[in-house]
Amino acid sequence: MYVRGERIVRVDRTGALPSDGTEVRDLGARTCLLPGLVDSHVHLAFDAGPDPVASLAATGDADLLAHMREAARSALNAGITTVRDLGDRGYLSLALADELARHPERGPEILAAGPPLTTPGGHCHFFGGEVEGAEALRAAVRERHARGCAVVKIMASGGNMTPGSVPPHASQYGPEDLRVVVEEAHRLGLPVAAHAHGTQAIRDALDAGVDSLEHATFLTADGVDPDPGLIRAVVDSGSFVSLTLGLDPRHAIDPPKAMAAHVDRILAMMGELHRAGAKVVVGSDAGIGPVKPHDVLPHGVGDLARLGVDPLDALMSVTSLAARLCRVEGRKGRIAAGADADLLAVEGDPAQDPAAVLNVRAVFRAGVRVR
């Protein structure tokens, strides 16, 4: 493979050494070269501590941006060269994205959503994206487009981290509001990512035409209901499903109360989605707790494989398929002429053993070796 500046210019699989004086880098025996990983769901503004919401509230913008730089660097060191940030405060992820575009060796490329759209007092309202009513929703989408966001995030259902908001299985926005957001975003050329735990929220988001379902745990008031008809609708819709996988094994797992009794069923349903033909990617939700540091995505590859997904398909869920979801296919998620020189070298063969993605030998961002 030949790299010039920030791009791959040629891929040579003959094994012949160049005769023109080109610098050659030997990464060692049993090394597998992969495209840099793509994490389709992170929160750089969360600190991966025991109470990230309280930490966020207690941190001013300057210190928060400094923390976000560290989080981004942590992700890059793990071979995560592109992240889709699906919720920050004050559009700080856009500021960091601009900074890293000038110094790509300092962190991954950031595709930012800005503050997610949520109802007054709704899930993650503390990011500042509270909005209701059709005209206000349209205006919020237009603002994100004008600021340079890469995606619009909407909280179709409740969540687990916001005291006083509706529970995860309950919907926050109805189908009409979701359609307004999707129509305006698509008119402006932006995709829409819908946070959707609840079965009804998933159904409404699909009907509205969202581009990705985040989490998609099929929660109801009584548990988990992976209705076969709805799973088929997910597959037929063409929407991506961003499954929340990847846990740091150094920390005890403490699932949210609403999920704790249903973890096994939720995991089984994730495997069902892939077998049914859904476009499944892994979005780590990095930052939301100690088991979710910003370098956790590689663990998600093994998690997906343990659900019965072929290891090569699991790799695609964090490379080429994730790049398609994030609308950076061609540049990201592949090793080919014209692609960004964002690369991860690991020891072993992750197509046979997914745990090999954790054995990092080198990371390159925009052609620069950063680890």
CA pair distance 23, 208, nearest whole angstrom: 52
* Dihedral sign for Cα atoms in the order 284, 290, 294, 297: negative
Assigned domain for 179 exists: yes
CATH number for position 193: 3.20.20.140
CA pair distance 243, 116, nearest whole angstrom: 18
Residue 61 pLDDT: 98
Assigned domain for 14 exists: no
Query: Helices 199-208 and 175-187: crossing angle, nearest 10°?
Result: 40
Assigned domain for 235 exists: yes
Vertex 259, ends 301 and 54: CA angle to 5°? 90
- 7: alpha, beta or left, given left = phi > 0 and alpha = psi -120 to 50? beta
pTM: 0.96
Residue 19 pLDDT: 63
pLDDT per 10-residue tile (average), the chain, 371 residues: 91 73 78 97 98 97 98 98 98 98 98 98 98 98 98 97 94 98 98 98 98 97 91 97 96 77 90 96 98 98 96 98 98 97 97 96 97 96
Residue 298 pLDDT: 98
Q: Which of 115, 70, 43, 111 is nearest to 289 (CA)?
A: 43
Assigned domain for 151 exists: yes
CA pair distance 267, 259, nearest whole angstrom: 11
Residue 25 pLDDT: 81
Assigned domain for 354 exists: no
Residue 56 pLDDT: 98
Q: Which single residue is written with the structure tokens 């490329």? A: 109
Assigned domain for 17 exists: no
Q: How many domains does the chain contain in total?
A: 1
Pairing, β 368-369 against β 360-365: antiparallel
**What's the Cα-to-Cα distance from 4 to each of 11, 153, 339, 345, rounded to whole Å?**
12, 35, 11, 18
For residues 310 and 90, the answer to whether their CB atoms sit within 8 Å is: no
Residue 162 pLDDT: 94
Residue 17 pLDDT: 66
Assigned domain for 353 exists: no
Residue-range definition of the domain harbouring residue 279: 37-332
Assigned domain for 12 exists: no
CA pair distance 188, 206, nearest whole angstrom: 19
